[in-house]
Structure 1
Amino acid sequence: MLKQSAQLWLWGVRESLNVHRCIVFLVLDNSKTIGRAILRCLLLNGVILLGSILAWESTLAPAVHWLMRHVVSPCLGHFTARSAEVALQLAYQALWLLPVYLVTIFVSCGIYNDIARTAYTIKEQQLKGPQAVPVLRPKGQSPGGNGGLEDVAQEVYRVVLFCVFFAEVSTVGHLPYVGAVLNVLFLSWLYAYYCYDYKWGLQGVRLTERLAYFERRWAFFAGFGLPMALSTVLLSFYPGAAVLAILFPVYILVSCDSDVNAVHDRVVGKEGTSNLRHLPIFALAMWPTQRIVHLVTGGTGAASGATEPGGSAVRPR
């Protein structure tokens, strides 16, 4: 089991690095939606967000430091100059960098959705023929839902679950000795899920089925999300967020072209895949999520279908 898990992890890393698959989508996208979306993503996250970070670190911060050291410090003292320098840095982050970060993240979510929908359509037409018209769930409708309160509750549950899970990821990173390793591992799972969640949503897979599928293929997804996790932990917060936002469309395209089932069948065989050991990655986040959703929905029970990931009735790709 350990050997197979290591092999699946390596396959996950290998799949995530197959960035050449993006070229196929760009070539086959007659509407040029993917190309335009990637350019917008680069403009937002590369030019505006990352440019704002580099502008401070390369130009503004040295200028402020020189001004405080040679002008303010001789007149008002070193402590006052240093305090003013720190205050200006915090003001830049609070009044400019943080708003820019929040806006670019919000706008990028819509861009990622457009990329995923177009790539999914292209992939389905590759598999079923150019005349095939994939059935896509409407924007804003939760997969597997029938609309109404159940649909809203399932979407609320998904958002809350991953907010809670992200808080757990941030917490385990502060544990002594193993915190750094666990932080990378949990971030790898989180980013891998984000990538595949677009495709599973477009396939109409319910949240419970997605979670169960993910938790039975935890080794592969830990490997797939590793490059994204490293791109954030090896940099400070804002540069890491900007780099990840730039790279994320690439990983969405790779996940759309990736077949997780085929990898598992190759490593452990079809019978072995159905008997994979379940790793309850999201179990710790379930309880607080259920309590929060219960309060949000007024205890209607509409989200009860998303309380525990059990056996998946479908095989998402």
Structure 2
Amino acid sequence: MKAEGQETKRVPGIKAGARTKRKTLFLQLSWSWKGLVDAFRWDIVVSTVTSDAEIRANMLKSLLLNSLSLLSIYVFDLLLQPLVRDQQKWLHRNMGWFYRVLWLFPVVGASLYLNSSWCSIVANRVYSLRHGSRKAAPSTYTGILTALATSAYRAVMICTSVVITFALGYIPVVGYTAGFVFFCWVDAYYCFEFIWVARGLSLAQRIGHLEERWAYYLAFGLPSSALCMWGSTLANAAVFALVLPSYIIMAMHAKPVPPNPYNPVPALSETSTIQYPSPFVPIRIPIFAPVVWINDRIVRLLSVGGRRSQQYSRGVGMDKKKGMSDTIVESVEEGSGNGASAESLRSAARGGIRVAGTRRRKAN
């Protein structure tokens, strides 16, 4: 026991650490609120759509086709499926199957495919209105190959993200919440992907940008994710396709915070002390690490050709220690980066590698 009148020693470092932790948590909450506010800027969507005919036309096409998809889905779920349930005749029993194959799947598939092109047109138009036209990528042999590689990797990444979202739902107790939170980040990523690509950010830079501002993007993706978590899988996909153009417009006008996650409160003057964030609150959360890891393994499994595949990888400058996300996809999207030369691709396909104008062949 302490003697009477003896003062308790205070450790200033502990109080300062707790104070820094509270400030950092407050900053994260303020960034989340900023993301939520940016996700409800429907006034920007309305003003943008009404002010430009090209944007208005593509938004209208997206609205009509995705509304048709939703109507078809709910006609089946609420009307046809209850009517044909427990029917004895073969035709009646398989009516739902015929409806899905002959009408529902083609309509939803066409809607998702066309919606991606309309979203690209809307994104490019909004970007040009705000920042001016960007330089188009040259239509070369290399550009075609790298565009195909990028599209394939992006498709695999979308599928992987959806699979991980469903897999998280099977975790006891916290599974549904974890899946919903992860889906918020996935939605936010695809809303901002268009402007990131337009600014020339590589895949690694885009992922790092989101993971270092996880609070903002979690809140930004919250409204769209909440709309896409209540219906069937097809209905959720159609709803997301319906609202995606609007959220792309919001993302084009948004300003994610903080500008510098590692120094969120810059010093007011050269003599003032820099206030670093608390080490107990993570600056960067590796949200997409499982997605990128699975993607790279899938791409390697799909790579066929044995020795020729390895020669191709060396010819385009791929490192065995790196995944596809760190090589081709980073440097070639939308004309950003140099990528591989067409000559190196052709020489790699023939079995040799051209370096500095000299062709080297493997010794027999």
What is the TM-score normalised by the length of structure 2? 0.67
Instruction: Report the counterpart of residue 105 of structure 1 in structure 2.
Output: 112
253 and 222 in structure 1: CA distance in 2 versus 1, 3 angstrom threshold: same
> Which of 1 and 2 has higher RCO (CA within 8 Å, sep 6+)?
1
Instruction: Supply the AA of the counterpart residue of 2:117.
Output: G
Structure 1 pair 2/225, CA: closer, same or farther in 2 (3 Å)? same
- Which deviates more, 11-20 or 158-167? 158-167
1:250 and 2:246 matched: yes
Deviations 1:126-145 (A, max 9, x none): xxxxxxx432444999xxxx
Q: Distance in 1 between matches of 2:121 and 2:161?
A: 25
Local SS of the residue matching 1:174: coil
1:1-317 equivalence runs, <5 A: 1-29=24-52, 32-46=53-67, 48-57=68-77, 59-61=79-81, 64=83, 80-81=87-88, 87-124=94-131, 133-138=132-137, 147=143, 152-261=148-257, 268-270=264-266, 277-297=283-303, 298-299=309-310, 300=313, 302=316, 304=322, 306-307=325-326
Change (3 A) 1:167 1:33: same
Q: Aligned partners of 2:275 and 2:106: how far apart in 1?
A: 45
Contact 1:37–1:115 (8 Å) recurs in 2 = yes
- The Cα shift of 1:274 comes to 9.5
Q: Go from structure 1 to structure 2 and tell me whether the alpha carbon gap of 1:270 and 1:192 turns closer, same or farther (over 3 Å shift).
A: farther
Q: Is the 8 A contact 2:73 2:235 kept in 1?
A: yes
Deviation at 1:296, TM superposition (A): 4.2
CA deviation after TM superposition for structure 1 residue 58, in Å? 5.3
AA aligned opposite 2:296: Q
Deviations 1:179-201 (A, max 9, x none): 11111111111111001001111
Aligned residue identity for 2:47? V
Equivalent residue pairs, number: 281
Give the helix-richer structure, 1 or 2: 1
Q: Which amino acid aligns with 1:134?
A: S
Q: Describe the shift of the 1:294–1:41 C-alpha distance in structure 2 as closer, same or farther (beyond 3 A).
A: same
Identity of aligned residues (%): 24
**1:290 and 1:307 in contact (8 A); partners too:** no
Q: Which runs of 5+ in 1 are unaligned?
A: 69-78, 125-132, 311-317
Question: Could you report, residue by residue, the CA deviation over 1:43-88 in whole angstroms, capped at 9, with x for unpaired residues?
Answer: 1101x212212333555456x35xx7xxxxxxxxxx5549876633
- Structure 2: runs of 5 or more not aligned: 1-23, 268-273, 304-308, 331-364
**Greater Cα radius of gyration, structure 1 or 2:** 2
> 2:300 corresponds to which letter in structure 1?
H
* More divergent stretch after superposition (7-16 vs 105-114): 7-16
List per-residue Cα deviations over 1:18-43 (Å, max 9, x = no partner). Answer: 111113323442xx111000110011
